[in-house]
A and B are shown apart, each in its own frame.
Chain A
Amino acid sequence: MDEAKVGAFPARARADFMHEVANTPRGRGVLLCIQCGRCTNSCPVARTTDEYNPRKLVETVILGLRKEVLLGNLPRYCLSCFTCLDRCPQGGDIGEVMFAIRNLAAKEGNVPEGIIVQAKNLFETGRVVTPTRMALIQRERYGLSKDISIGIDEAQKILKKTSFVELISKKV
């Protein structure tokens, strides 16, 4: 964040935001962070764009700037290569923290269009990607059923029970 935003942060900062992230299943890494910057300095994305900087993003979480983090698009820049997990001297899993933030952002209704489409696919067909004609021919060759709609109702049951449907319908 730039200097002007730092100056304005106390009003919007949420001291408990760091723990909100840490208490999600994959967010424990924020508590270990000592801001050394090894994640940023090994990150292949950070080398190609100035916008994304994992250290800075974790710093924003620690500062408690909830809106900036959850309504922004930055955690989705992560390629999940987990180089940062290998390099982090504290054993903090920054790549996993990105997932934690994405999940929290989804709860706030911040889900990108493309993911909504995939999620809807999953709900309607039981698949993220619908099989192409080529894939169907291959299935037949391996002796698999041509009917790919088997078990959709069970999948839908699970998705309804895990509040998946609410998550994807928030924005729409």
Chain B
Amino acid sequence: MEHKSVLIIGGGIAGIQASLDLANRGFQVYLVEKSPSIGGRMAQLDKTFPTMDCSMCILAPKMIECGHHPNVKLLTYSEVKEVKGSVGNFKVKVLKKPRFVDESKCTGCGICSEKCPIKVPNEFDMNLGMRKTIYMPFLQAVPRVATIDKDNCLLFQKGVCEICQKFCQAGAVDFDQQPEEITLNVGAIIVATGFDMFNPEQIPPFGYKRYKDVITAMELERLLCASGPTGGQLVRPSDGKMPKSIAFIQCVGSRDRREWINNAYCSSICCKYAVKDAVLIKEHDSHAMITIFYIDMRAFGRGFQEFVNRAKAEYGINFTRSNPGEITEDPETKRLTIWFEDNVTRTVKSLTFDLVVLCTALVPRKDSAELAKTLGIETDNYRFFKSPDLISRPVDTTVPGIFACGYCLGPKTGDIPDSVTQASAAAARIAEVLAEVTKQ
């Protein structure tokens, strides 16, 4: 019977899609997610390109379906610690970190978060907004269960408080919860761990973190999102006013071969998301002056070039083919000056902006090398997981029975539809491989 169960690592859109595909085929799916809720990167986005559909409106039904599916067992706030065995018979040890909230009792009413006295920056909002120490990462979280952040909780750090326990009507708060080790027996594994965003502090001339109004595209995404820290108001982090002129800088950390960065690849989605964000800003404020500084506009795929053309013609967004080397800030007005080469006159000019958005590269997860070691699979020189044959078996890894999908396979997959396609492909491969193993 163990041939009918599958482990999926990573609860982003790729992991969710693979889980649903396999669960609907009758497989028992264990979905392991590191953070308190499934949803991943797509949950953080406001809109998806090029159709400008609401990201959460597409994702949330899938998340809920995943959460309620009889064949899917969610293991959130958990990590894979050990994998042994081979295709058809993997023995997996999963460490379930203590939430200090009983998942079976919590109703997700949210009164604990309301009463909790400690506020900390919210990772889900890219640290722009605040959350409580007992929290649900976002409104549509699945499972709808609160989690206590032990590192900031007053009870764990100073030994006083317990307010959440007093107010919880369901009696779900349990400060004595211990880490739990779960042993699973599965036939095959899918890795869908996704990506991290490149940290632009590695390129000091751009002044990220030194200048408040230099933000990353992911931070902009949260600022533009109606459920974000500002309720969808686009504001400058320095003074809280609406920015009138905005610059986007492409290829921050991608196509960069310098030794300490070593990302020679093109991340393949930055051009598209920059244009999307620019159009979103124009929809917020039609008078905003937007300039996109790019190296090459790589808007390939169905509907993307048309989208770029529309951004130019309908929305009046300026595209300048020149990549700035540095940003300087006026210490008084906090406005940011960028030197660039004018495309028409080919002379060097400077422009001043209220807000600069760095379109950062997508890089492998910090712990991808560690996970690869646990699973015994190989990674390429960027630490993305490696397929033995990119052309005929693109979702396989170097170990039979372990498959991968989504961006953890590297930048050949661009956008959400690609990740979903790969997830379904990996699910189909698992069905095929496990059928063969069972026959033998």
The segment from B323-331, B415-423, B430-438 that touches chain A is: B323-331
In the A-B complex, the 5 residue pairs with the closest CB atoms:
A42-B325, A87-B325, A36-B323, A37-B322, A89-B256
Interface residues on A, range: 20 to 34
| B176 close to chain A: CB less than 8 A | no
Chain B residues, CB < 8 A from A87: 205, 325-326
Whether the Cβ atoms of A47 and B348 lie closer than 8 Å is yes
Can you report 9 A-B residue pairs in the complex whose CB atoms are below 8 A from each other?
A34-B255, A37-B321, A42-B325, A47-B348, A53-B347, A56-B346, A83-B325, A87-B326, A89-B257
| A50 close to chain B: CB less than 8 A | yes
Besides A42-B205, A53-B347, 6 other CB < 8 A contacts? A32-B257, A37-B340, A40-B348, A43-B348, A89-B251, A90-B257
Chain B residues, CB < 8 A from A37: 295, 321-323, 340-341
Whether the Cβ atoms of A50 and B348 lie closer than 8 Å is yes
| A21 close to chain B: CB less than 8 A | no
Q: How many A-B residue pairs have CB under 8 A?
A: 71
Q: Which residues of B contact A (CB under 8 A)?
A: 205, 251, 255-259, 261, 295-296, 321-326, 338-341, 346-348, 350
Chain B residue, CB-CB nearest to A38: B325
Whether the Cβ atoms of A91 and B341 lie closer than 8 Å is no
Whether the Cβ atoms of B295 and A55 lie closer than 8 Å is no
Whether the Cβ atoms of A47 and B339 lie closer than 8 Å is yes
0/1 interface trace, chain A 27-40, chain B, CB 8 Å (1 if under)? 00000101111111
CB distance from B303 to the nearest CB of A (A): 26
| A71 close to chain B: CB less than 8 A | no
| A63 close to chain B: CB less than 8 A | no
| A106 close to chain B: CB less than 8 A | no
Chain B residues, CB < 8 A from A53: 341, 346-348
Chain A residues, CB < 8 A from B259: 91
Chain B residue, CB-CB nearest to A46: B348
Chain A residues, CB < 8 A from B325: 38-39, 41-42, 83-84, 87
Cα distance A53–B339 in the bound complex, in angstroms: 13
Whether the Cβ atoms of B322 and A89 lie closer than 8 Å is no
Whether the Cβ atoms of A55 and B341 lie closer than 8 Å is yes
Chain A residue, CB-CB nearest to B254: A89
CB distance from A126 to the nearest CB of B (A): 40
Cα distance A43–B322 in the bound complex, in angstroms: 13
Cα distance A98–B88 in the bound complex, in angstroms: 61
Chain B residues, CB < 8 A from A83: 325
Cα distance A91–B255 in the bound complex, in angstroms: 11
Chain A residues, CB < 8 A from B322: 36-37, 40-41
